[in-house]
Structure 1
Amino acid sequence: MSLLPTPHDPPACVRLLPNTTAVVTTRVGAVLVHCPPETLKYLLALGLTPPQIILLPPDVPAGQELGSSGFVRQGINYASVEFLIYSNFFVAGRQVRLITITEDQAQRIRAILEETTTGPRNLAAYGESVWVRTECSAVSFYPPLGRSPNIDDMVVITSLEAGGGDLGATQISLEAESFVFREDGLELARLSTQISKVAVPLALAPPQPVQRQELTLQFIGGSDGFDPAGITTCFLAYLGTTVQSQATLFDAAAYLLLRLGNLGVTPSHISEVVISHLHEDHIAGLPELILMGGHRVRLVTSEVIYQSLLRVLGAMLALPITEVAALFDYYRLDPGTPLELEGRRFEAIYAIHSIPTIAVRVGGVCYSGDMRYDEEWFGELEERGILQAPRRQELLRFAEGANILVQDVGGGAIHTTITPRLLHALTAKSQRLVLAHTSKHLLPVGSPELGDRITFAGSGVVLGIGAMLPHNALSEIIETIAACPLFARLTVEARIALANAVTSVHWPDNAVILQEGQASDGSTYIVHSGLVEIWIAGAPVRILGRGSSIGERGAIMGEVRSSTMVARGNVELLKLAPETFGPIAERLGLATAFAQAEWLSTIPVLRELPWASLLDLALDLQPRHLATGEQLFAYGEPGYEGFVLVSGAINFNDADGSLIETLQTPGEFFGGRAAIYGRSRSATASASAPSVVWALPAPALERLNLLYPNLLMHLRAIEAGHRRRRKG
């Protein structure tokens, strides 16, 4: 992946880095161009000093690209600057200069940083828990300033629109789709503003066998945001014996989909996501999971954190908060008010950290979040009147009786510091203590006798307590089939029959599974474990994990393979031979939907979807042919369908019959908001020429809501644009 300023090699002052980032050496210092998650880790891994100046990309207009809006491209936030700011301010003792393109972007990035680094600005946002703000201030107190730092201490935010590209000896301007750097009136470098490929992580957790016990934890990561070799703390908890396949995800590390896929987990295996707080290392993967996970997210956190998250995601995506809230389901978990969710009882307290944070207990596991746990310090805070005696006792006793306590550590002013005294206190509260959020996996002198009760949460670590649960390989295969939207359409009985009919095939790392241009043998495949990279015309286009199906196009029509598929890591695929796939394809009507899927693939915004997803979408589309003047729906009537224009033209008229707009672009979506939100039609739609539309009934729209929230966000954005134009 590269950020090429021209078809030629970049000038000597430009260093191209992974993930469409670059560092430009100028007279005023190094300038980082673009900033996806974990950019700091890449810089540190390469031995580079984090630049003090960061230049962010233009917004993606809502509706232009799936899973993309504002700073976010296909679920990845390219304004992920928080840890670069921390590195500059707390390590190097200097401010970051953050340059956006527009003033609107500058205001939005400020809003994000205020929420994620210092917490809600308005005290009213804390409701009855305003005392949390006082505790946060005590934790974040910074002796060199004599107070808690704020955004203005750490960063200067400006925009090219407001003249922020004038850096004195160096000038930065936006020209068409390029950032142009000049010194002494001469062009120093020219870099594209465009981001052509989705970013990838520096490291993946090594997959380890998961033998389920009554309580099982699987760590995606257990380190911090400054560790180039580690993944930030994020783990799956398999709770009890009644929910065999689904897990609770605690926090969301960056590049979550690839990291889950490498462990053989799909988003459909996640029952809910618990968000402890909004620091970047705990939520960087959440936009990707929400927008690109192919499964509607159920999010558990407190009301204060939820409202803050909506403001963060709204600023990140440049969308109204109401649109953001529609992307996932929220389950409120406030301290003192337990949440019962499908047999699991969640309890929380506010942890003591620099921004609002919850510590959570459920099913025998207790997760501290980034709580600074220090019993002596708690006593000092009580003496100063910051903690009341009941609150101190709440902090001391919350983890008591837990089977497994996952404690974020890491030291410093805002995290727990590992000491013998701390370890003795925490191991007395639980059967097993897991130390997370640190790259230093050494117990301090004076605590060796606790070693058999303490585990460090490394990437890929699996830890269990209780009786072993029976492992059923067939059930695993059924779960994989159910995770694939196309085959999830089958009845439960048909999925079981299919699981018994597939064969398992294995591929080593870098092996070519299917070759572009190769004749199809009629077989299709579902990824069971590992990652498969898809290449088209010599370029990588996407990476697929468990539950993704491949090879249907060639199998249905007997065509040559349209892409090359390469194993990334050891890969296991479920093979559906022609005699297995053929009857299923006939039962689902895949051949009939083929032409519709092919047409969908010509729509620019849908080109990034896997072909299997297009085929799945096509199965829900119901063609309708309209004669000139024929009405599709009338103003004020209930809406039960959304529509895609295939050909022709559709007029929209207001309640008085006046023409508002004519829709003529194939692929445009309309009429869906009424069906999605249960509202009446806001206009009358009729064909102004012979037209073909595809209808999406309300059940199909609800299925979109569950499986393709990124697509539904796109459709809502397009329709919102139509509504604005009509009102204008």
Structure 2
Amino acid sequence: MACTSKEQFHQDVQELNQELKPQEQIPAVQTMKLNRGGLIIKTSEGPIQFGLPPETVKDSMSLGVEVPTFYIIPSQRFNKQFGINVAEFEFPAYFNFFIKKRQVTLICDTETANSIKIVFQETLLGPQDFSQIKNDYHSDVDPVEYVDFKKELAIFAKNPMNLNEKLTSETLLKFIIFENNVAQIGKVKIVKEEKEFTIYDNQNLLISFPDKFSFPKEYDKLLSLHKIDSSGKSEIAPPSLTIMKKMQHGKKPPSLTQNFEEVDSDEDDQDIGSMPNLLLWNKNGEAKLQKKGSIELNEGLTFQAPEFGVTVLGCSHGFDPKGSTSGYIFWINGRGIMVDPPPYTSYHLKKMGIPPIMISAIIISHCHADHDAGAFHKILDDSKVEIITTRTIMYSFLRKYSAISNLSQDQIKSLFIFRPAILGVPLNIYGAEFEFFYAFHSIPCIGFRVRYQNKSIYFSGDTFYDPVKIEELQKQGHLNQARCRQLNSPKFTEDIILHEAGVPPIHTPQTVLSQLPNQVKNRMYLVHVAAKDVLKGSGLKVAKPGIENTLILIRPNVQQDIPLNRKMDIISRIDIFDKLTLNNAKFLMDALKLEKYKEGELVIQENQEGHKFYIIESGLAKVFSDQKENKFQRYLQSGDYFGESALIQTGRRRASVLAVTDLRVLSLDKHDFWFIFGDGFEGQGPVIEQMMQLMEARKQQAIQILFKNSHFSQLTPTQKTQLEMIMQQQEVSKGQILWKKDDDATFVFFIRKGAFAFIDCEEAKLEEFDSGSFIGEINAILKGNKLTTTIKAVREGSILKIESNAFAKFLQRNPGLLLLLQEYKYLE
């Protein structure tokens, strides 16, 4: 970390220390619960904190209390429920060392200490082996252009307080290891028991608390898609629709990223999918965020992602208590690529009304916690996502998160699709041309230029950009001429320039950027910096976070037809079309026609004869029925479809569909529907068979059974549809044995009605299970093991049965569920 002088470093630290002084003194308390979760205990040896969720240092700073130097690490360091690391020690360590000039002490067992050392190697110093660096580059690139990371990272790996001293993990971290379940800090003794910690101070009992990190209740409600207690039984986690209603009448929870307000909706509506927020565009290309539950049908507005642009989710750094860490959505051809998503981003996207189908991939720039923590959260949130980065960074990510989560690297690999970023050649990604490059940072980090049509955006990544200093390093032999030329080569000719301006020495000094020509600064937006820290009179500005501040280069052209690659993208991300042959997919592309509806206009009318099938390209639609025996309403977004029932079975529409905003749909005529999805002779093809299975499940009100299960009720609408498509109803008689211990695992099931119980096994002590309960040994299904339980129908009833192979495929498509559910045998 020696890219600026020692004097400059200390000046930066002094300025930051001055800014971080508490605005008011908080009265001394014995214990304090933190906003993001965790607990601070006051002791005679100083404050001790239990649990370290992402951005935890911001809690202490915002409360005006001292950031602790002692941290007790929970036994379960990784929260599978949320996909979040609750032992994120990186920024407490960085803050204490680089700002306060002191070490932190982690209190844990030997195994945890060894795992943390692996994590810190990757995040503080970077990978140790670069023998395969050539795999990051295109074969045409001259090896002289390869980054020599051994030399380059050594530039930064110096103690900024003593430049002659090598920076190591021991420079920042100390460990106190539990010996015979006791850890001693001076006069303070910490005792680790089976499920709790007890702290004594001067031999006096101070406090006992559970060895389990818990998010605050407000966060728990907002975040919980997968909520299971230690017994395997689910706790009630209301759907977001209910949460938003309750928040109107109660205490508003703290913002997770400080950027987006909570919104309200009507709890009493019988929604299957709650109404989202909307990003609306007027005819001038100006964005407006329309809140959930407050739809106003304003003339000229339509729900559409920009053709090309970028939304900043957060633009600050890890030490700014009022700002969110940096994260972005790059919009390309109406599709979103998230770059370094900050923690909890997935749930804010949902609140903003951005359907998961719109997010096609994630780019991970590097493996610092403020850049990769949200990526792992997004990986586990929904169906498999594509991750784009170099092989060097990917393998570092795998080593780091294997140590964090206690999953093998192969297990983590199975959770996503890896697309290598190749340096030295433009890559076509979703119709745009990306040029990736290695930035100049303390660990391997990428930036990129992206061009779409005749517009372009530059993303610096975390980097030290100072042409004078870089040339000095080249003269000193730390960098070769090719690397010096590459680092000093930005011409900044792009239409939008997102450039980091964090705290040197590992980030770019604002003084350097302030010297750029005004025509460059006019197109430049600073990130990784708090707005209050921008140099006065420099002509520099920070990027404004929030979807309403989206930077638009090419606005959506709602008048033009939908290009082929956009059609293919929509179709490829709809589960029901998985079994289409290439020929049928081609026929489908030819047959789909674009239709446009104004807000307030009916697309289909209940009880009228149906002749078309529809797929939503953009906008928001409401499906509803006013019939007493079938009264309901739900909302559909991009990637959702409707209208199949009338074409397959009834001939007449069973519900109406209204355009809530301007709506663009792809329609398919009934004759083409049967030709493409059937067998050509009005017989059932695989797609129609799945649609019929889905209709049958809905006829049996399978969705209501899922809503009775406090875990499965929290799945996304897409995940619920996936389950409905593989369910089959089966009647069960009283006393019937569904399976026996040591049988092969052939199916799982949801109880539709009746009562069931385990017998002749360890689980026999449990109470009976009734409607909504899920029964199934998932581990046996995934690993081919024999069953360990026997299950019996106590009363006559019916089940919704799912064959093992179909359920295994469902879990493979949804890695977060796979990771969470594999150890359970029942869920209520």
User: What does residue 183 of structure 2 align with?
Assistant: 165
Structure of greater Rg: 2
1-structure distance, mates of 2:348, 2:706: 32
User: What does residue 63 of structure 1 align with?
Assistant: none
1-structure distance, mates of 2:748, 2:73: 35
2-structure distance, mates of 1:399, 1:702: 48
3-state DSSP of counterpart to 1:589: helix
2-structure distance, mates of 1:312, 1:500: 40
Q: Does 1:525 align with 2:634?
A: yes
Q: Does 1:284 align with 2:291?
A: no
| CA displacement, residues 461-498 of structure 1 (integer Å, 9 cap, x when unaligned) | 635354533358x99xx99x999999999x99645589
| CA displacement, residues 693-726 of structure 1 (integer Å, 9 cap, x when unaligned) | 94446566444433x211122455669xxxxxxx
Q: Does 1:257 align with 2:343?
A: no
3-state DSSP of counterpart to 1:36: coil
- Output aligned runs, 1:699-710, within 5 Å: 701-706=808-813, 708-710=814-816
2-structure distance, mates of 1:19, 1:459: 21
Q: CA 1:331–1:347 in 2, change beyond 3 Å: closer, same or farther?
A: same
Once the two structures are overlaid, the 10-residue window that deviates more, 381-390 or 170-179, is 170-179
**Contact kept? 2:182, 2:189, Cα under 8 Å:** no
3-state DSSP of counterpart to 2:484: helix
Give me the identity figure in percent: 23
Once the two structures are overlaid, the 10-residue window that deviates more, 434-443 or 317-326, is 434-443
- 1:186 corresponds to which of 204, 209, 219: 204
- Residue 423 of structure 2 aligns to which amino acid in structure 1? P
- Residue 713 of structure 1 aligns to which amino acid in structure 2? L
- Per the TM alignment, residue 616 of structure 1 is displaced from its structure 2 partner at its CA by 5.0
**Contact kept? 1:650, 1:685, Cα under 8 Å:** no
**Contact kept? 2:723, 2:810, Cα under 8 Å:** no
- Per the TM alignment, residue 685 of structure 1 is displaced from its structure 2 partner at its CA by 8.1
- Residue 668 of structure 1 aligns to which amino acid in structure 2? E
| CA displacement, residues 243-292 of structure 1 (integer Å, 9 cap, x when unaligned) | 22x11111111111233234332433111111110111111212211112
- 1:154 corresponds to which of 160, 172, 194: 172
Q: CA 1:385–1:38 in 2, change beyond 3 Å: closer, same or farther?
A: same
User: What does residue 268 of structure 1 align with?
Assistant: 357
- Output aligned runs, 1:540-555, within 5 Å: none
| CA displacement, residues 660-714 of structure 1 (integer Å, 9 cap, x when unaligned) | xxxxx9421256447xxxxxxx6788998989994446566444433x2111224
- Residue 150 of structure 1 aligns to which amino acid in structure 2? T
1-structure distance, mates of 2:395, 2:616: 45
Q: CA 1:668–1:159 in 2, change beyond 3 Å: closer, same or farther?
A: farther
User: What does residue 296 of structure 1 align with?
Assistant: 384
- 2:320 corresponds to which of 211, 219, 227: 227
- 2:543 corresponds to which of 453, 456, 467: 456
- Per the TM alignment, residue 226 of structure 1 is displaced from its structure 2 partner at its CA by 0.6
**Contact kept? 2:195, 2:211, Cα under 8 Å:** yes
Q: Does 1:469 align with 2:561?
A: no
- Per the TM alignment, residue 596 of structure 1 is displaced from its structure 2 partner at its CA by 8.7
| CA displacement, residues 137-166 of structure 1 (integer Å, 9 cap, x when unaligned) | 213433323244221110113443565621
- Residue 56 of structure 1 aligns to which amino acid in structure 2? I
3-state DSSP of counterpart to 1:257: helix
- Output aligned runs, 1:9-408, within 5 Å: 12-59=29-76, 70=78, 72-100=80-108, 102-124=109-131, 131-146=148-163, 147-160=165-178, 165-197=183-215, 198=220, 201=256, 203-205=258-260, 211=285, 214-239=307-332, 243-244=333-334, 246-292=335-381, 294-363=382-451, 364-398=456-490, 400-408=492-500
Structure 2 unmatched ranges of 5 or more = 1-27, 136-145, 224-254, 262-276, 286-304, 579-587, 593-611, 641-659, 664-690, 751-755, 761-773, 794-798
2-structure distance, mates of 1:164, 1:460: 49
User: What does residue 15 of structure 2 align with?
Assistant: none
- Per the TM alignment, residue 379 of structure 1 is displaced from its structure 2 partner at its CA by 0.5
2-structure distance, mates of 1:630, 1:440: 63
Q: How many residues align?
A: 598
3-state DSSP of counterpart to 1:172: strand
User: What does residue 436 of structure 1 align with?
Assistant: 527
Q: CA 1:504–1:45 in 2, change beyond 3 Å: closer, same or farther?
A: farther
- Residue 644 of structure 1 aligns to which amino acid in structure 2? V
**Contact kept? 1:290, 1:328, Cα under 8 Å:** yes
- Output aligned runs, 1:569-718, within 5 Å: 588-591=695-698, 594=701, 598=705, 609=715, 616-622=722-728, 643-644=747-748, 666-670=775-779, 672-673=781-782, 694-696=801-803, 698=805, 701-706=808-813, 708-716=814-822
1-structure distance, mates of 2:200, 2:790: 53
Q: CA 1:620–1:124 in 2, change beyond 3 Å: closer, same or farther?
A: same
2-structure distance, mates of 1:623, 1:392: 67
**Contact kept? 1:435, 1:457, Cα under 8 Å:** no
Q: CA 1:427–1:500 in 2, change beyond 3 Å: closer, same or farther?
A: closer
- Per the TM alignment, residue 457 of structure 1 is displaced from its structure 2 partner at its CA by 4.3
Q: CA 1:593–1:345 in 2, change beyond 3 Å: closer, same or farther?
A: farther
**Contact kept? 2:181, 2:191, Cα under 8 Å:** no
| CA displacement, residues 334-376 of structure 1 (integer Å, 9 cap, x when unaligned) | 3225433332332211111001111122222221110111100
1-structure distance, mates of 2:524, 2:620: 44
- Residue 634 of structure 2 aligns to which amino acid in structure 1? Y
Q: CA 1:418–1:705 in 2, change beyond 3 Å: closer, same or farther?
A: same
Structure 1 unmatched ranges of 5 or more = 1-10, 61-69, 506-518, 530-545, 548-570, 575-583, 634-640, 652-664, 675-681, 720-728
- Per the TM alignment, residue 79 of structure 1 is displaced from its structure 2 partner at its CA by 0.9
User: What does residue 561 of structure 1 align with?
Assistant: none
2-structure distance, mates of 1:45, 1:99: 25
**Contact kept? 1:253, 1:283, Cα under 8 Å:** yes
3-state DSSP of counterpart to 1:265: coil
1-structure distance, mates of 2:615, 2:79: 43
2-structure distance, mates of 1:116, 1:500: 41
- Per the TM alignment, residue 389 of structure 1 is displaced from its structure 2 partner at its CA by 1.3
- Residue 110 of structure 1 aligns to which amino acid in structure 2? K
2-structure distance, mates of 1:103, 1:439: 38
User: What does residue 763 of structure 2 align with?
Assistant: none
| CA displacement, residues 207-230 of structure 1 (integer Å, 9 cap, x when unaligned) | 975646553111101111111111
Q: CA 1:130–1:156 in 2, change beyond 3 Å: closer, same or farther?
A: farther
- Per the TM alignment, residue 92 of structure 1 is displaced from its structure 2 partner at its CA by 1.2
**Contact kept? 1:231, 1:459, Cα under 8 Å:** no
**Contact kept? 2:181, 2:193, Cα under 8 Å:** no
| CA displacement, residues 272-321 of structure 1 (integer Å, 9 cap, x when unaligned) | 111110111111212211112x2321100010100010111111211111
- Residue 555 of structure 2 aligns to which amino acid in structure 1? M
**Contact kept? 1:34, 1:78, Cα under 8 Å:** yes
2-structure distance, mates of 1:22, 1:614: 36
Once the two structures are overlaid, the 10-residue window that deviates more, 17-26 or 463-472, is 463-472
- Residue 96 of structure 1 aligns to which amino acid in structure 2? V
Q: CA 1:213–1:328 in 2, change beyond 3 Å: closer, same or farther?
A: closer
Q: CA 1:367–1:502 in 2, change beyond 3 Å: closer, same or farther?
A: closer
- Residue 469 of structure 1 aligns to which amino acid in structure 2? P
3-state DSSP of counterpart to 2:159: coil
- Residue 110 of structure 2 aligns to which amino acid in structure 1? E
| CA displacement, residues 393-442 of structure 1 (integer Å, 9 cap, x when unaligned) | 112225654222211112310000112x5344487779821211101457
